Structure 1
Amino acid sequence: MGRAVAVLVAVASLATACGSATVEPGAKAGGRSFTVAAAGDILIHPELVEQAAKDAEETGEGEAGLDFGPLLAGVKPVISKADLAICHMETPVGKPEGPFEGYPEFLVPPQVLKAIKGVGYDTCSTASNHTYDHGMKGVRNTLDTMDEVGLGHTGSARTAEEAEKINIRDVNGVKVAHLSYSWESFLNPAPENKRWALNRSSTGEIKKAESRARKEGAEVVILSIHWGLEHYNEPSVPQLDLARRITEETGIDLVIGHHAHVVQPIQKVNGTWIAYSLGNQVARHSSPTGLTEEGAIGWFEFREATDGWDVTARYRTTLVDIPPEVEPGEELPDGAVEDHRLVDVQSVLDEPGDLSEERLARYRLAADRTRGFLFNRGAPGGDGLKPLSLEK
């Protein structure tokens, strides 16, 4: 027995001396890996357009008097770090000079897409209940502008031929497909002769799209899906049922959910990570609830295994700062938020500077509450969901 132990120790010491890497069980020696960052709805309300106009006056940048860069800059250190960053563009865009519209039939400045690209996003899902708010003109404007700024896209289409194409990207030598599906608005449905303009949620259609993606060489398939009930922090029964069917009947590797405008849990279902809702990435609802300003960036690391892909999940809490409303000519209270800004909460808590205790309490609340909602279906246990730490 003693001799056997001695031999094992000697072998281990030799391996260490030679610099041999330890291979985790199931991992593939020399296997590929990549990271994915995905966030919630990008919903540009009128107050955010006003903020972009204010920022353009100060920066002297942007286009047609609008600069969305400062609004979104807070998440650049996280988003730009990922090998593949996926946004969800909730609404159609118009022309740079406007006119623009808010709820219920959104038409937002196309300048925001340049800012989205600027913080590090690579591609966006475009299937939502607002996709067809302004018909085919809105769909075309949105996708044309995405092409101009270099953003990939999936979920809506300008032609029937484009609707059949699969968005496949090379990520660290891995072919990754991105699919996007949504329920359709009853207010502005696409006409029968243009049903191809929007991908409608259906297990059967998702299965067909995944099959096409695999035939075209996709090794990983990520699904963005617009589903659930607005302002509910727990997934609905239809969400849970569709998640089960997707994980049982398809080979989808990751599901990213939107539409609730608040954070919902992340959990593994049949071995596949499901982010039911990552809340809003950026929005300014007419009646902010606090929850609608809180969001999460999901961070997923894919490692090649002997039988597929091993995926670990992390998250980063975000918050949209909203200035208090004051009467014209009235000054903001001391220490109050002055501008709408998308904030990486942990970075502020790590380096608070001279922020007031009231401001810091708001960031702590966002961090604590988001953690609670994300963990509400047991992911921090055996599934291993954890906060994301950025290496300096």
Structure 2
Amino acid sequence: MLAHTSVTERANADAGGTGYDFLPMFEGVKPLVSGADLAICHMETVYGSDGDHTGIPASKIPPQVADGLAATGYDACSTASNHSLDDGAAGVRRTLDALDLAGVRHAGSARTAQEAYVPTLLRAGNATVAHLAYTYGTDGSPMPQGQPWSVNLIDRDRILADARAARKAGADVVVVSLHWGTEWQEQPDTQQMTLGRELTASRTDGRPDIDLILGTHARVPQAYEKVNGTWVVYGMGDQIAGEMFNRQGLQDSRGNESTLARFTFAPPAHKGDRWKVTKAEFVPQVFDIDAGRVVDVNAALAQGADLAGVRDRIRNVVLSRGAAHDGLMMGQ
């Protein structure tokens, strides 16, 4: 979720002009999200205090968004992004406090050193899932004085060490969220592909250290790819954002297109072996900036909406690195 003034204005209107209600924005995809055993989102921006919010670039969004995420069915969010320190340590604290109050778990930023180094462990059916999150940087905002652990930065060795620690802590499945890539570029860049290969190649006692990588930041949907036997979603796009302008300063509707990544895991036949992905799916979405609503593209098409071009564009990008040959399907 990316905070723009139009987004918060819509939430205010949906609350009748008093406060903010973000749930209506998500209603179109609530069945998909709430139907998952575990639903993970990405929180791009930090929260201000009630009534204290600003737009991009130094962004703060009303804390009521946490209630909207929870009501939609999201269980956890990654909170490591280039905007994580837009309001310093106070912004990190307010964000995590609000998520805690709403019952949404989080990974990627921290209020204490202990919180930074203890993996976020979640339940999904009979599985224990570790969620780890990292960002390429914080757009020049320094780490708060004396708090170098406030936001997790991408570092291959740190990520792998954290993944192994999560496994030792009892994780059956390790999911890593990475805020990476080049904005407005549909194909993964060199850093994404290199890091993706290195992370998915790492094994301990023959078992992969990481079971799934979920990418954000590029502003547009990017490819899915199975790398070294592990699914990598290079970029999901922005589920919620206001009107988006590309590098040329032109309004670009691709910035309001995204995918919901859905993976089904099954337990191993032998204890200690890997939980395997038995079904891999992507669900195309678009944010209707006029209505202020997330739209499930396939569901809307079934009702006669003129979104076939959007669906096809998203599908072509997602499948552009051969994911269909490895079993990726477009879900409903």
State the Cα distance separating 1:193 from its structure 2 match.
2.4
Post-superposition offset of 1:273: 0.1
What's the counterpart of residue 123 of structure 1?
A: 76
TM-score by length of 2: 0.93
The answer as to 2:239 corresponding to 1:281 is: yes
Unaligned runs of 5+ in 1: 1-41, 59-63, 324-338, 353-359
Aligned to 2:180, which of 220, 227, 237?
227
Within the candidate set 38, 45, 50, 1:84 is matched to: 38
Q: CA deviation at 1:285?
A: 3.6
Q: Report the equivalent of 2:206.
A: none
Query: Paired residues, what number?
Result: 318
Counterpart-to-counterpart distance in 2, 1:84 and 1:373: 25
Q: For 1:368 and 1:235, locate their aligned partners in 2 and report how far apart those are by CA, in whole Å.
A: 19
Give the whole-Å Cα distance in 1 for the aligned partners of 2:23 and 2:123: 27
Counterpart residue type for residue 321 of structure 1 = D
**Following the alignment from structure 1 to structure 2, what is the Cα–Cα distance between the partners of residues 186 and 77?**
35
> In structure 1, what is the Cα distance between the partners aligned to 2:176 and 2:224?
14
Counterparts of residues 4-15 of structure 1 (less than 5 Å): none
Determine the structure 1 residue equivalent to 2:132.
179
Letter of the structure 2 residue corresponding to residue 255 of structure 1: I
Q: Distance in 1 between matches of 2:170 and 2:276?
A: 19
**For the pair shown, which has the larger CA radius of gyration, 1 or 2?**
1
- The superposition leaves residues 198-249 of structure 1 with CA deviations (integer Å, 9 ceiling, x where unpaired) of 1110110011111211111111100000000011000001100000000112
Amino acid at match of 1:283: A
CA deviation after TM superposition for structure 1 residue 186, in Å: 3.4
Task: Name the CA distance, whole Å, in 2 between partners of 1:71 and 1:169.
Answer: 26
Percent of residue pairs bearing the same amino acid type: 41
Which residue does the alignment assign to 1:372? 316
For the aligned residues, what is the CA RMSD? 1.3
5+ residue gaps, structure 2: 204-208, 246-250
* Aligned mates of 1:370, 1:286 — CA distance in 2: 17
Is 1:347 the counterpart of 2:310? The answer is no
CA drift of 1:369 comes to: 0.5
Tell me whether 1:73 sits opposite 2:27 in the alignment.
yes
Task: For residue 191 of structure 1, report the CA deviation from its aligned partner.
Answer: 4.0
Q: Tell whether 2:300 aligns with 1:308.
A: no
In 1, Cα distance between the equivalents of 2:62 and 2:144? Answer: 25
Structure 1 length normalisation: TM-score? 0.79
The one-letter amino acid paired with 1:258 is: T
Q: Tell me the amino acid that sits aligned with residue 380 of structure 1.
A: A
Q: Which moved more, 1:366-375 or 1:208-217?
A: 208-217
CA distance in 2, matches of 1:145, 1:65: 15
Runs of 4+ in structure 1 off by over 2 angstroms are 285-288
Partner in structure 1 of residue 229 of structure 2: 271
Q: Tell me the distance in 1 between the aligned counterparts of 2:57 and 2:259.
A: 25
Residue identity in the other structure for 2:275:
W
